[in-house]
Amino acid sequence: MKRELSADIVIIGGSTGGCAAALAAARSGCKVVMTEETKWIGGQLTNQAVPPDEHRWIEKFGCTSSYRIFRSLVRNYYKSHFPLSEKALQMPYLNPGSAIVSRISHEPRAALAALQEMLAPYIHSGKIVVLTETKAKKAESDGDQVKAVEAEHLLSGQSYVLTAPYFLDATDCGDLLPLAGVEYVTGAESQKETGEPHAREGEADPLDMQAITHCFAVDYLEGEDFTIPKPETYSFWRDYKASFWPNRQLDWTAVSPVTLEPITYGFFKEEGKFSLWEYRRLIDKSNFQKGTYEGDISLINWPQNDYWLGPVIDVDEEERKKHLEGARQLSLSLLYWMQTEAPRPDGGQGFKGLRLRTDVTGTDDGLAMYPYIRESRRIKAEFTVLEQHISTAVRGEAGAEVFPDSAGIGCYRIDLHPSTGLSTFIDISSLPFQIPLGSLIPVRVDNLLPASKNLGVTHITNGCYRLHPVEWNIGEASGCLAAYSLKRGLTPRQIRNDAGRLADFQRFLEAEGIELSWPAVHSV
């Protein structure tokens, strides 16, 4: 029996951007139905288990007000519920994991708690209905309008028919776009298409996409033995070496993303070596009173478990499942290698005390609920952001392109991991940038908006528009745009392409706490 649910805005995907979109729409008085494929809303923050990648100015400016509230709630989660050490109490900005890459590295459960707290008033009042473990299966469109989406609860088989004047695709892979017949692109564009210096030479390759990573969390108890059963494909991964890699993938030596030279990492802290353990550490036990945690907890999202042997988007279901399982097997093989064969600084082999923390990821196998997705389907948009708009090498002292239709800002290096086309890293400097409203508007469809990594960017510029605070801003801007359009009886296209309406919408965004431009800052 199909259950019909109607709302002002239907959001397919409870990702980081989806949650921000739902909050923005509900704040504007709209009723929202949001689906989520896993048990946890939050996307890369929670079910993918990846703490935020952020720019250096994040504590003072460069994100939306609601993202700042999210960060405060994460910190308050630890300050309110955990006995902090004297060291942590002295920190102006608590970083629970003291991670190298993140200024607020934390457990996915803390992010989930913060998101649930932010959504709670709207869920309790009925303004937001969240359907977890529910996936979109089909969509009905009529001309330039999406009319309905049919979704299914993955455990019970319950079907829902979701209708609304506006639909947002907030899935990490852009899953609603093909279902609704929305024009989109995937993979790597060619230089002759985009003119981007780092775009692919020769022909475009729609199946050349960034690696996915099936993350997992571990702690370490010296003297204990938590060795997992030998993974099915361990022999393959133990010997596998890509042509662009300096050694076997299961090794402490990898490629420097920026220089492309070999780099030998340290596992724990080793003199003169970059510590992988501290790289994405979720919990630094020294930030808590003695006995709170048995040891540090670290997230394993490293070059060594990037999976690039095939894409999981726009391939048949058998191929998709093969690569999803391949990513799982690689991550399990990395753990098994670390437990049994990894060289130790003391001359021994293996760290048997590495323990999978199934509670941290909320799964039986200890791996994240969903793989870390770096690259999505991307709408064919009214405006597409190119490398030439934001690259330090191209723009120089002029700064990033100024977009008069700005709907937010972001900042991160153009950071592409190895890809399924067996290409190595592209990691280049970019300038603090804006999110143009035109990149959120499909070329044809009037009532569907992107709310995650599926906006009008390229394979190259996706590399800096995909990070947590930027995805949040994208989702929030799309939620605001749908609500604003609905209340005024206008389409997003009509708002963008009329100077007076655009200016009024931008005033609305600023009143909602969305920064539209940067102060004078430098490249990253």
Tell me, rounded to whole angstroms, the distance of Cα 121 from its chain centroid: 25
pLDDT digits (tens, 9 = 90+) for 205-242: 999 999 999 999 999 999 999 999 999 999 999 999 99
Phi/psi at 277 (5° precision): -60, -40
pLDDT-derived band at 521 (thresholds 50, 70, 90) equals low
Q: Structure tokens of 137? A: 């299966």
Which among 31, 35, 27, 36 has a CA at the least distance from the CA of 7? Answer: 31
pLDDT at 519 over 80: yes
pLDDT digits (tens, 9 = 90+) for 325-368: 999 999 999 999 999 999 999 999 999 999 999 999 999 999 99
pLDDT for position 140: 98
The helix or strand, by DSSP H or E, that contains position 427, with its residue range, turns out to be strand 426-428
For the segment 435-440, the average pLDDT, to the nearest whole number, is 98
Integer angstrom CA distances of residue 406 from 402, 418, 438, 447, 509:
8, 31, 9, 20, 10
CA–CA separation, 428 and 141 (whole Å): 40
pLDDT digits (tens, 9 = 90+) for 169-198: 999 999 999 999 999 999 999 999 999 999
pLDDT at 313 over 90: yes
The helix or strand, by DSSP H or E, that contains position 220, with its residue range, turns out to be strand 216-220
Q: Which residues contact 205 (CB under 8 A, 6 or more apart)?
A: 187, 188, 421
Half-sphere exposure of 287 (CA within 13 A, CB side): 22
pLDDT digits (tens, 9 = 90+) for 36-84: 999 999 999 999 999 999 999 999 999 999 999 999 999 999 999 999 9
- Is 450:168 a contact under the CB 8 Å cutoff? yes
- Is 175:13 a contact under the CB 8 Å cutoff? yes
pLDDT digits (tens, 9 = 90+) for 276-303: 999 999 999 999 999 999 999 999 999 9
pLDDT digits (tens, 9 = 90+) for 241-259: 999 999 999 999 999 999 9
CA–CA separation, 27 and 509 (whole Å): 12
User: Amino acid identity of 170?
Assistant: A
The helix or strand, by DSSP H or E, that contains position 236, with its residue range, turns out to be helix 234-239
Integer angstrom CA distances of residue 267 from 247, 249, 339:
17, 15, 12
Listed in sequence order, the DSSP H helices in 399-467 are: 462-465
Burial class (CB in 10 A: 0-12, 13-18, 19+), 268: middle
| Domain architecture of the chain: domains with CATH | 3-188+374-512 (3.50.50.60), 212-373 (no CATH)
Half-sphere exposure of 469 (CA within 13 A, CB side): 32
Q: Which residues contact 72 (CB under 8 A, 6 or more apart)?
A: none
- Is 26:32 a contact under the CB 8 Å cutoff? yes
Q: How many residues does this entry show for the chain?
A: 524
Which among 415, 416, 387 has a CA at the least distance from the CA of 208? Answer: 416
The helix or strand, by DSSP H or E, that contains position 389, with its residue range, turns out to be helix 387-390
For the segment 468-493, the average pLDDT, to the nearest whole number, is 98
- Is 267:351 a contact under the CB 8 Å cutoff? yes
CA–CA separation, 389 and 403 (whole Å): 10
pLDDT for position 523: 65
pLDDT at 271 over 90: no
Beta bridge partners, 288, equal 84
